[in-house]
Structure 1
Amino acid sequence: MADAARRMRDLAEKALREPFPLRIRAWDGSEAGPPDAPMLVMRRRRALRRLLWKPGELGLARAWVAGDLDIEGDLYEALDLIAGIVWDTDEDGAPHPGGFRRAVDLLRNPHTYRLAREALVLAGPGLPPSPPPEEARRRFGPLHSPGRDKQAISHHYDVGNDFYERVLGPSMVYSCAYWEHPETTLEEAQYAKLDLVCRKLALRPDQTLLDVGCGWGSMVLHAAEHYGVRAVGITLSTEQAAYARKRVAEAGLTDRIDIRVQDYRAVADGPYDAISSIGMAEHVGRDLYREYAAHLYGLLRPGGRLLNHQIARRPWADEEAYHVDEFIDRYVFPDGELAPVGSTVSRLEEAGFEVRDVEALREHYALTLRAWVRNLEDHWQEAVRLTGAGRARVWRLYMAASALSFEQNRIGVNQVLAVRTRPSGAAGMPPARPWP
């Protein structure tokens, strides 16, 4: 009799000491659990072995990426239920291993031999499964050194421009859009975000703009086409740079836009009238943020403005205990680190900037991510052909889970507008915000 699903459910409920919230379908075709809940599909015994050998989000992620585990039904609902098992969150917003980790620890305890024995029998014999090939290779060099940063950036951004076209759409903007109305399309929302940045920077014809982490060139193209600036865009991704240069040439703007493969620390040809850094500072690293802020300050003219658009996390009561999310670090953004928005503001002020405006766009990023997930799902077969099933699965999981994190205020995103004031102290800012 096929009953692996029932046995897994019973085992999970004994270990968790609470009802298991998802329905389970096991490798033998059996099903168990609430009939109306999303379906957790355990395609192979190896999925259970991954969870036993590496409990928590990393084991789940490896099983998902490898195709050992799948979800049928509402992906967002399922991920929300799973997060409730995997993580507990303190009042300070810091996540800690939750019921799932405690359950696995219980199964490993010699005093609960019967539960452990049943789990091992269900999982079947075998060594710890190898991580899927999509997991980031070991990086070499000191953390956030230029060479290591280039390796980390390549892992995420050199997946293939054709793949990014399917996910991001024609705008090729890989950062939070600005949704002025619920019925706004992704393209309209990305246009609105780029224009909002230009207006906050008060760009004018023939001013010079440095775009740090320019991606596929969308910001510099928008600023040059609609505001007449002369722009430099820098990226560490060779694939992004090639794509951006092609777009610049097609737009007939090679005399106004320069795309470089360059680390921000190597830029030395300022001063610039304005600097935009959109979705790049997450790669800088906590220990180097003072250097980042000071270097950008040095590249601005007196009176120049910086727009820093950056994902932020909630502050922890014990900041020394902060650790990087394992799934994100190994599969999505190697070496990426988030900081609270207050820390970002402090580092900018320490560098000499006057911070003039902070706008939280958390809900906007949730809408953006859901739009990207829809794009990926609509182009699923093409995405798999372009980058492989495992990589496509990484992206679907990471974007859907991130949308939930923004919706539930576990992470946020902020635009911080700062000015290098003139020697007199003048900031050159209008008395009231000229943007919405």
Structure 2
Amino acid sequence: MTVAQMMEVFLSSGAPVQVKAFDGSTFGPDEAPLHLSVKSSRAMYYIAENPNDLGLARAYLQGDLDSPELLPGNPYDVFKKLVQLKDYMKKPSAPDVARIATAIFSHGLHIPDPPEIEGPSLLQRLKEGIRPHTRKGDAATVSYHYDQSNDFYRLFLGSSMTYTCAVFNNPDESLEDAQWHKLNMVLDKMNLKKGDRLLDIGCGWGSMEIAAAKRGIHVIGVTLAEEQVEWAQEWIKKEGYEDLAEVRLMDYRDVPESSFDGICSIGMMEHVGFKQYPAYFKEMMDKLRPGGILLNHQITRTNSNDNKRAGGFIDRYIFPDGELASPAEIEMTIQDNGFEVITQENLRQHYALTLKHWTENLQDNWDEAKQMVGEPKARLWGLYMAGSRLNFELNTIQVHQFQCIKPDPSTGTCDYPLRPWWER
């Protein structure tokens, strides 16, 4: 059974794709808008072992699955065309699936090694004593994702070194302007003024610390990624804000200070784990002064019925143990832990636009990226960011900001302006 015959089991003959395979077979017409190349049998073994995003990603990262339409570091256009194939999918019969399995494994039950850059599975992590959403587990998974080359991240993040959703005034605004706009909007939402105290949880490379210090706000940033701490500390020193800003290699639960005027958590909750949300928001409540504002910014599922755990590809390559909840579940947990939610804002379209900039930056710096981290890892980041962009556009995932105030325990309430005081 050829690869083309296998494709006929899953796709109707009118599907807008041509697939050329290592065995010389071809499915689809030359004039198709999308052309895929299956370059080796290893791709088929990957997909047979994991017929999902993990199997396809392994084949792509190893160069076994490719397309002439792929832009270097930016497979977004190919992803959009692949989505269109859903209308041409057929449900295979059990005999057809058996025939395909027989054809693939007729050469032996071969399970190829995964790409060298692949992280351990959940089972392997458990065997190593790394349990999800414990202090040890959090430190290991955050380090896995963020302790890469800072210079590599800068290739696509740009000068702001901000690895979260920007906020655009218009589609033509630059990424740098949109990122500083987001940082200042967060500070405005927390209603912070000169002399106030801010805790930034999951501070990244220190852009929030710089933005806050420019306003005369005293800020402590914490992260579990050593590379980020080094970059942030150097940035703060270069800007001359050492009297206002500091960044620590520290778990947020170990911060000894309290009574902060504001706390922001931007793009960190994805690592916390859904079952840990109540403990997390209790920690925020304990660290804020009465009347202080928490600005919680995180990627969300579109609805509460979706599975919270990430798929195999994201778990092995991007965010080990990552979990996403719906905005309704998050807001309920926030309120159940004593906060009053002032506003909830969905920035889904802004994240799609942010990712567009990031993938285009990677594409523009493709040769340098390959030289820094190797082609498989450079491919990985393009794959992840392009896929994320498409999912935000399709409303498969969203990103929400929750603006929450800690009531005064003696009165059970707080006074704040009757209308929004910040510019969106």
> Which residue pairs with 1:134 in the alignment?
117
> Which residue pairs with 2:376 in the alignment?
390
Instruction: Please tell me the root mean square deviation across aligned C-alpha atoms, in Å.
Output: 2.3
Q: State yes or no: 1:302 paired with 2:286.
A: no
Quote the offset at 1:108 in angstroms.
4.0
Task: Give the alignment partner of residue 366 of structure 1, picking from 352, 375, 384.
Answer: 352
Question: Which letter does structure 2 place at the counterpart of 1:166?
Answer: L
Q: State yes or no: 1:378 paired with 2:364.
A: yes
Contact 2:229/2:248 (<8 A) preserved = yes
Q: Deviations over 1:104-140 (max 9, x none)?
A: 965442xxx3x5444557xx65611111111113433
> Equivalents in 2 of 1:414, 1:105: separation in Å?
43
> Equivalents in 2 of 1:413, 1:387: separation in Å?
29
Q: State yes or no: 1:43 paired with 2:39.
A: yes
> Equivalents in 2 of 1:259, 1:331: separation in Å?
27
Question: Which letter does structure 1 place at the counterpart of 2:190?
Answer: L
Unmatched runs of 5 consecutive residues or more in structure 2 = none
Q: 1:104 to 1:153 in 2, by over 3 A?
A: farther
| Worse-matched range after superposition: 13-22 or 288-297 | 13-22
Task: Give the alignment partner of residue 143 of structure 1, picking from 115, 132, 137.
Answer: 132
Contact 1:357/1:418 (<8 A) preserved = yes
Q: Deviations over 1:254-273 (max 9, x none)?
A: 11111111111112311100
Q: 1:178-189 counterparts in 2 under 5 A?
A: 178-189=167-178
Q: Deviations over 1:388-421 (max 9, x none)?
A: 2111111111100100100011000011100002
> Equivalents in 2 of 1:246, 1:428: separation in Å?
39
> Which residue pairs with 2:217 in the alignment?
229
> Which residue pairs with 1:268 in the alignment?
256
Contact 1:38/1:77 (<8 A) preserved = no
> Equivalents in 1 of 2:37, 2:315: separation in Å?
25
Q: Report the 3-state secondary structure (helix = DSSP H, G, I; strand = E; otherwise coil) of the residue aligned with 1:72.
A: coil
| Worse-matched range after superposition: 131-140 or 403-412 | 131-140
Contact 2:202/2:222 (<8 A) preserved = yes
> Equivalents in 1 of 2:93, 2:143: separation in Å?
35
Q: State yes or no: 1:330 paired with 2:316.
A: yes
| Worse-matched range after superposition: 368-377 or 46-55 | 46-55
Q: 1:23 to 1:238 in 2, by over 3 A?
A: same
Q: 1:103 to 1:255 in 2, by over 3 A?
A: farther
Question: Which letter does structure 2 place at the counterpart of 1:424?
Answer: T
Q: Report the 3-state secondary structure (helix = DSSP H, G, I; strand = E; otherwise coil) of the residue aligned with 2:293.
A: strand
> Which residue pairs with 2:392 in the alignment?
406
Q: State yes or no: 1:54 paired with 2:50.
A: yes
Quote the offset at 1:216 in angstroms.
0.0
| Worse-matched range after superposition: 335-344 or 263-272 | 263-272
Question: Which letter does structure 2 place at the counterpart of 1:78?
Answer: V
Quote the offset at 1:322 in angstroms.
4.5
| Worse-matched range after superposition: 22-31 or 288-297 | 22-31
> Which residue pairs with 2:331 in the alignment?
345
Quote the offset at 1:31 in angstroms.
5.2
Contact 2:34/2:81 (<8 A) preserved = no
> Equivalents in 2 of 1:44, 1:277: separation in Å?
45
Q: Report the 3-state secondary structure (helix = DSSP H, G, I; strand = E; otherwise coil) of the residue aligned with 1:25.
A: strand
Contact 1:9/1:20 (<8 A) preserved = no
Quote the offset at 1:27 in angstroms.
3.2
> Equivalents in 2 of 1:117, 1:274: separation in Å?
61
Contact 1:52/1:104 (<8 A) preserved = no
Q: Deviations over 1:236-258 (max 9, x none)?
A: 00000010000000011111111
Q: 1:85 to 1:334 in 2, by over 3 A?
A: farther
Q: Deviations over 1:79-122 (max 9, x none)?
A: 23435668x9xxxxxxxxx958x64965442xxx3x5444557x
| Worse-matched range after superposition: 188-197 or 422-431 | 422-431
> Equivalents in 2 of 1:73, 1:159: separation in Å?
29
Quote the offset at 1:356 in angstroms.
0.2
Question: Which letter does structure 1 place at the counterpart of 2:329?
Answer: S
Q: State yes or no: 1:169 paired with 2:154.
A: no
> Which residue pairs with 1:25 in the alignment?
20
> Equivalents in 2 of 1:353, 1:220: separation in Å?
25
Contact 1:66/1:132 (<8 A) preserved = yes
> Which residue pairs with 1:428 in the alignment?
415
> Equivalents in 2 of 1:425, 1:117: separation in Å?
68
> Which residue pairs with 2:80 in the alignment?
80
> Which residue pairs with 1:416 in the alignment?
402
Contact 1:163/1:386 (<8 A) preserved = yes
Contact 1:44/1:68 (<8 A) preserved = yes
> Equivalents in 2 of 1:426, 1:316: separation in Å?
29
Task: Calculate the TM-score normalised by the size of structure 2.
Answer: 0.91
> Equivalents in 2 of 1:251, 1:432: separation in Å?
35
Contact 1:354/1:421 (<8 A) preserved = yes
> Equivalents in 2 of 1:105, 1:135: separation in Å?
32
Larger relative contact order (CA 8 Å, sep ≥ 6): 2
> Which residue pairs with 2:194 in the alignment?
205
Quote the offset at 1:32 in angstroms.
4.3
Question: Which letter does structure 1 place at the counterpart of 2:218?
Answer: R
Quote the offset at 1:315 in angstroms.
2.0
Q: Paired residues, what number? A: 411
Quote the offset at 1:387 in angstroms.
1.3
Q: State yes or no: 1:195 paired with 2:181.
A: no
Task: Give the alignment partner of residue 152 of structure 1, picking from 132, 135, 141.
Answer: 141
Contact 2:118/2:316 (<8 A) preserved = yes
> Equivalents in 1 of 2:24, 2:10: separation in Å?
23
Question: Which letter does structure 1 place at the counterpart of 2:187?
Answer: C
Task: Give the alignment partner of residue 11 of structure 1, picking from 6, 11, 16.
Answer: 6
Quote the offset at 1:46 in angstroms.
1.2
Task: Calculate the TM-score normalised by the size of structure 1.
Answer: 0.88
> Equivalents in 1 of 2:95, 2:166: separation in Å?
44
Contact 2:304/2:328 (<8 A) preserved = no
| Worse-matched range after superposition: 14-23 or 153-162 | 14-23
> Equivalents in 1 of 2:309, 2:96: separation in Å?
26
